[in-house]
Structure 1
């Protein structure tokens, strides 16, 4: 790679790092096509620290260049950082499909800081914010963007319901197994699939399970029944459906499902707001998948700043050109 240094050393001015601006711009372009900082460092015979600093300067440039155009729909989500329940909170532009910023922890204070990273004019133009049913997120949204509707994310609700079905399955499987019945053993993923995603064989096997009149089958039916909520466009109809579904859940006497229903009832206004805005954190989930690949490539991060830099570099859609 020595030809690179010959070509770039005679061009442009030298930046603070000691590299020419032309060369630093080349490093940024290379990093955009390679998620491994170490791989780029090795290829260009640079230290990891030098490449990291180039990336940080690129992100700083990009963040300064961001305009204050209106952002109508925000998504706020958490992402694990290190082991031991350490998280970061990420704010996304749902229409633009980009990460706007990242802060440490998932507290109200941290989320307020995240929202404050938007210009005051932008905050006033936000129409809705898609969030999980995590109270610190809701408190921060009401404080910094009070005019925006809080919309609780259907993907998280689906996860809570899936977890409840699995809790019922595990309880029932233990009881059946103690009586010598192995019906539910190995069936975990069958209950997590939606009918349209089953192959013919999977559907046949699942139909056989459903004929056993299991508590798990009842839990699955209640979870699947709630999917009809998301196609309703009238708030009144959605509220009526939720009450109808809640009554069915109560009659089931299945504690894991009832627990999720009670949590949803406490946050019903945010769930009903979906009928108005039709937003979800699907964009956030897609960005989270990309962030997970970045984490895997880096084999973890020792500092929050390095983590934030890489998230914004690869997911922020920044103008980082020199």
Structure 2
């Protein structure tokens, strides 16, 4: 039998508030079993809120706790059933360190969830001696707690999407706190109705404090932002605007290359293709980042394709507009000048820029981009590819939120 100093030491090592170790034993090939006494003699009635010390019956059961070295640890817990003097009703007391009907402590759950950040459900379950179903229950429990929380201090909201299944145009919407660099929401269906419904659930106290909404140039995002957050400035992400220009430039390159292949004059065909082949990246890459060899390749391209030369020049001028420090007035004048020169070679991009001019020039005052959002999306893609034992969208959300909200 353990001495009082040993039990005192075990209580300190166990470090669970409100309990005292009354005995323990080490069972070979099983682990350490620790028997606990409750220090609190009174419990609070969940119905009337009064304290009572009237014991109806003891209820002993065993739960898993954090391991001690290589030894598994089991706690024999007494969740007493009490009788309220005020109601009078019978109830089971609440214990902070282990929830009702659970066979593991809260701190073991926290350890397991933190391990999921770097591993999969199956391996974490085997390593901790719990079932995969128990881990999914832990996740759902944690997710339920999280779902009741609303974003706090949200000033700049980023809205973007990620493909759930590549190539099938099946997107979910990702909502990001740009300043805190965390996910604050995920919407399964990328429709205006579903996005608006999700955001409305945050309530006016959250939506009214949002000052900026950063979006790509998808109209429903703008519609939702203006409907629910009229005080917020909608900012079109400069990199999505640049992407539009680059895509039109690359489309022109492909068209010229296709026309070159169709030529019957072999010498002319060879001349054009020698400059156009493998030119995509030198054409789209920032000019100042080109290597010496890439610069030579770009010059060869310009000689055989004057249209691409003009478009490349306009692309670089467009990019520089956003690189230089400007306010919205200077930005507007610069874009207006660019549009006059670029309309002949970038008709599609110019049309888009004109339609979104207000949201685009908002960038010059705010300088807000979706760089943070894109970084989070890249991490989400990695989570999605690896799977980690998550088999549906709800589990994907839990896994995603685990990375940015779980305090390890």
**TM-score, normalised to structure 2's length?**
0.70
Q: 1:118 to 1:157 in 2, by over 3 A?
A: same
TM-superposed CA distance for 1:164, in Å, is 1.0
- Once residues 2 and 237 of structure 1 are traced to their aligned partners in structure 2, the CA distance between those partners, rounded to angstroms, is 73
1:28 aligned to which of 93, 103, 113: 113
Is 1:123 aligned to residue 207 of structure 2? yes
State the secondary structure of the residue aligned to 1:55. helix
Aligned to 1:86: 170
| Secondary structure in structure 1 of the residue aligned to 2:72 | helix
Length, aligned pairs only:
313
Of 206, 209, 221, which residue of structure 1 is paired with 2:301? 209
Q: Is the 8 A contact 1:160 1:260 kept in 2?
A: yes
**Aligned 8 A contact 1:101 1:117 in 2:** no
Cα distance in structure 2, aligned partners of 1:168 and 1:301:
42
Mapped partners of 1:137, 1:63: distance in 2: 23
The answer on whether the counterparts of 1:35 and 1:294 sit within 8 Å (CA) in structure 2 is: no
- Deviation at 1:93? 0.4
Q: Distance in 1 between matches of 2:100 and 2:289?
A: 54
Q: SS of the residue aligned with 1:147?
A: coil
What is the correspondence of 1:173-322 to structure 2 with a 5 Å cutoff? Answer: 173-179=257-263, 180-181=269-270, 182=273, 183-230=275-322, 231-252=324-345, 257-298=346-387, 302-315=391-404, 317-319=405-407
CA RMSD of aligned residues (A): 2.5
For residues 287 and 163 of structure 1, what CA distance do their matches in structure 2 show? Answer: 23
2:158 to 35, 55, 75: 75
Tell me if the contact between 1:133 and 1:267 (Cα under 8 Å) persists in the aligned partners. yes
How far apart, in 1, do the equivalents of 2:277 and 2:364 lie?
Answer: 39
1:9 aligns with 2:74: yes
Contact 2:171–2:189 (8 Å) recurs in 1:
yes
Instruction: State how far apart, in whole Å, the 2-side matches of 1:241 and 1:223 are.
Output: 13
Going from structure 1 to structure 2, the CA distance change for 1:278 and 1:87 (only over 3 Å counts) comes to same
Instruction: Give 1:192 shift.
Output: 2.1
- Whole-Å Cα distance in 1 between the matches of residues 300 and 158 of structure 2? 40
Change (3 A) 1:102 1:2: farther
Larger helix fraction of residues: 1
User: For the structure 1 residues 258 and 148, does the alpha-carbon distance in structure 2 shift closer, same or farther, using more than 3 Å as the test?
Assistant: same
Encode CA deviations 1:268-316: one digit per residue, 9 max, x unaligned. 111111122110110000101111111111179642211211111113x
CA distance in 2, matches of 1:19, 1:189: 55
Which of residues 233, 241, 251 is equivalent to 1:157? 241
Over 3 Å counting, the alpha-carbon distance change for 1:300 and 1:90 in structure 2 is: farther
How much does 1:14 deviate? 5.6
CA distance in 2, matches of 1:79, 1:100: 15
Structure 1 residue 137: Cα displacement:
0.6
How far apart are the structure 2 equivalents of 1:260 and 1:300? 42
Distance 1:201 1:37, change over 3 A: farther
Structure 1 or 2: larger strand share? 2
Which residue number corresponds to residue 132 of structure 1? 216
Shift of 1:23: 2.0
Q: 1:103 aligns with which of 187, 193, 199?
A: 187
**Greater displacement, 269-278 / 44-53:** 44-53
Q: Deviations over 1:7-62 (max 9, x none)?
A: 34227536544323232122012123x15333323433544333233223223334
5+ unaligned residues in a row in structure 1: which ranges?
A: none
Cα deviation, 1:77-127, whole Å, max 9, x if unaligned, reads 011112421111111000000000101122111221332243422211111
1:277–1:2 CA distance, 2 compared to 1 (3 A) = farther
